Amino acid sequence: MLNQLTISKLTEKLSKKEVSAREAMQACLDRVLSVDGKVKAFMSYDAEDALKQADAADKQIASGVSHADKPLLGVPIALKDIFAVKDQPLQSASQILNGFISPYSSTVVEKLQAAGAIVFGRLNMDEFAMGSSTENSSFHTTLNPWDTSRIPGGSSGGSAASVAADECIASLGTDTGGSIRQPAALCGCVGVKPTYGRVSRYGVIAFASSLDQVGPFTKDVRDAALMMNAISGHDPRDSTSVPREVPDYTASLTGDLKGMKLGVAKEFMVDGLDAEVKNAIDAAIKKLESLGAKIVEVSLPHSKYSVATYYIVATAEASSNLARFDGVRYGKRVDGADPLEMYRKTRGAGFGAEVKRRIILGTYVLSSGYYDAYYLRAQKVRTLIRQDFDTAFEKVDAIISPTTPTAAFKVGEKANDPLQMYLSDIFTISSNLAGNCGMSLPCGFTSDPKLPVGMQLLGPSFGEEKLFQIAHAYEQATDWHTQKPTL
Amino acid sequence: MAQDAFDINYVAELARIELTDEEKSKLGAQLGDILKYVDQLKEVNVEGVEPAAHSVRLTNVTRPDEVRECLLHEDALKNAPRQVNGLFQVPKIVE
């Protein structure tokens, strides 16, 4: 089935003219019709537009455009509802942007299109990217293809589930505190959080501007490298994007690990780490050793403060970024006698509970009398967290850890305890604060029920090549990535 | 760190969000728990540490102050809840 292919396999067939882009796109659409009633990854999609793009891709292939020129030509890629696509709905799964049609496209979407990809669909997510389970979507909850009584993770739950369920060939999401890596781990796919500044945030609805990064969800490591090639690079429209050459990430897929030093942070082997997750990670570490890597103990002493630091910094930035949703220029408006009343009523009616919680917390920590004690202090702890990583990366090429403390939990299990929910990001959050890169890839399953377990690799800033090198070697020596859920 | 009772009414007003009474009591309690949790940051010795506003050291970026292509007027108005004469219409704020 064409929808089950990877980017590399599909582009090979397309370039040999064994299949058409239309057939591949149709296969994905058929799959969505067949399983999305159970998975609910999509909020919406435009089948007609997707097939039109596929036909255009076929025309280009027929006229001689090669995959050397356009590496993603004809590949169906689905998008988290956070990316602006000109003339398409955009609402970050929030009621406050109901009916909003974007007048422009994000840089990453333009780059995917320039590489020939077919971009389709609005994938479900936690509202304004705030959440770890996709239960905070104001639309519906997406379910984990491996067990539909469980969550897929969040906030990019739809992006992870759709790839795991073969509803698309790859997808795009965002990661602010783990929102790519955590759902990738829980759904059994590859997810990459690039170094901050590697990928443009222009046209991506902002949650926390110093933490947000765009990244791919794919079925294997090679595909992730292909996606990173396409979306990375300096963008003058994003003043935080870094003017630095984009390497060919596929060149790192050598399969060779000799001499690589992998760090295991003692602080990450915490209480609350599920036994089966720990066993899978321990086995993965042994496997990496057998492939030639050297395991070194490292320490990240301030990592225990990362969740606390994050919930001050991210909420503060969110309170600022979400101030624009006031009913004046776009989105939902609830009338008031004066503008202030209009803002209060619009925002009260338009934002969900988690969003309100975070905006109010963020407002508080920035408010007069509290700024120094909370926000300023958190920013200093953030420097210490970054320094921990800098020190560790002097000794090792990458750090390995579990991506999540447990496999996917049940719908509703953590929804009433926000703090419990926040702690599920404990391994991913510090690299958003430090800005360095990270990746999650499959490293096993729990036994009953069979649920994916992900391992996380963290690299130094702009050290994505090392992650690809390590991940690819591990992946090719295992078969986790070939297993699919039964839907 | 400040530990006065969290005044949900005051902060909700700053954030311009109208809350129901039920939301106020639920949020107030949850935020109280979260603030207690983040309080552990006061254990950290931050003496002499610079605050990090950015994860990567960046320099400020500017461009020449010249007119460039931007969103067309009509596109900017396309999603307006209320518009009149090519302007966003809002309730009166000035007496």
Q: How many CB atoms lie within 10 A of CB A17?
A: 10
DSSP 8-state assignment for residue B21: H
Please list, residue by residue across A31-51, b when 16 or more beta carbons sit within 10 angstroms of its beta carbon and e when fewer do. bbeebbeebbbbbebeeebbb
pLDDT higher than threshold 50 for residue B1: no
Residue A155, pLDDT score: 97
Gap between the Cα atoms of A142 and A157, Å rounded? 6
Interval A311-329: pLDDT, tens: 999 999 999 999 999 999 9
The catalytic residue among A8, A102, A133, A155 is A155
Euclidean distance between the first and the last CA atom of chain A, given in angstroms as a whole number: 15
In chain A, where are the structural domains located? 2-259, 305-376
Residue B52, pLDDT score: 87
CB-CB neighbors (< 8 A) of A344 in chain B: 16-18
CATH, domain range A2-259: 3.90.1300.10
CB-CB neighbors (< 8 A) of B49 in chain A: 380-381, 383-384
Name the domain count of chain B.
Answer: 1
Ranges in chain A, pLDDT < 70: none
Beta strands A398-402; A261-265: pairing state: parallel
Domain that holds residue B23: 8-42
The answer to the question of residue B58 being in a domain is no
Residue B2, pLDDT score: 45
User: What is the nearest CA distance from A431 to chain B, expressed in angstroms?
Assistant: 9
Gap between the Cα atoms of B39 and A75, Å rounded? 48
Residue B90: which residues within 8 A CB-CB, separation 6 or more? A328, A339, A342, B82
The answer to the question of residue B16 being in a domain is yes
Give the helix/strand (H/E) hosting A294: strand A294-298
Tell me the two tokens of residue A449.
Answer: 């029920």
Q: Which of B1, B56, B75 is opposite residue A461, by nearest beta carbon?
A: B56
The answer to the question of residue B59 being in a domain is no
Gap between the Cα atoms of A80 and A127, Å rounded? 11
Q: Which of B12, B15, B49 is opposite residue A380, by nearest beta carbon?
A: B49
Please list, residue by residue across A234-246, b when 16 or more beta carbons sit within 10 angstroms of its beta carbon and e when fewer do. ebeebebbbeeee
pLDDT band at B4 (very low <50, low <70, confident <90, very high): low
Tell me the two tokens of residue A456.
Answer: 């996380």
pLDDT band at B38 (very low <50, low <70, confident <90, very high): very high
Q: What is the ipTM of this complex?
A: 0.92
Contact A418, B34 (CB under 8 A): yes
Residue B95, pLDDT score: 73
The answer to the question of residue B34 being in a domain is yes
pLDDT higher than threshold 60 for residue B3: no
- A418–B41 C-beta distance less than 8 A: no
Contact A312, A378 (CB under 8 A): yes
Residue B55, pLDDT score: 63
- B53–A363 C-beta distance less than 8 A: no
Task: Please check whether residue B70 touches A, CB under 8 A.
Answer: no
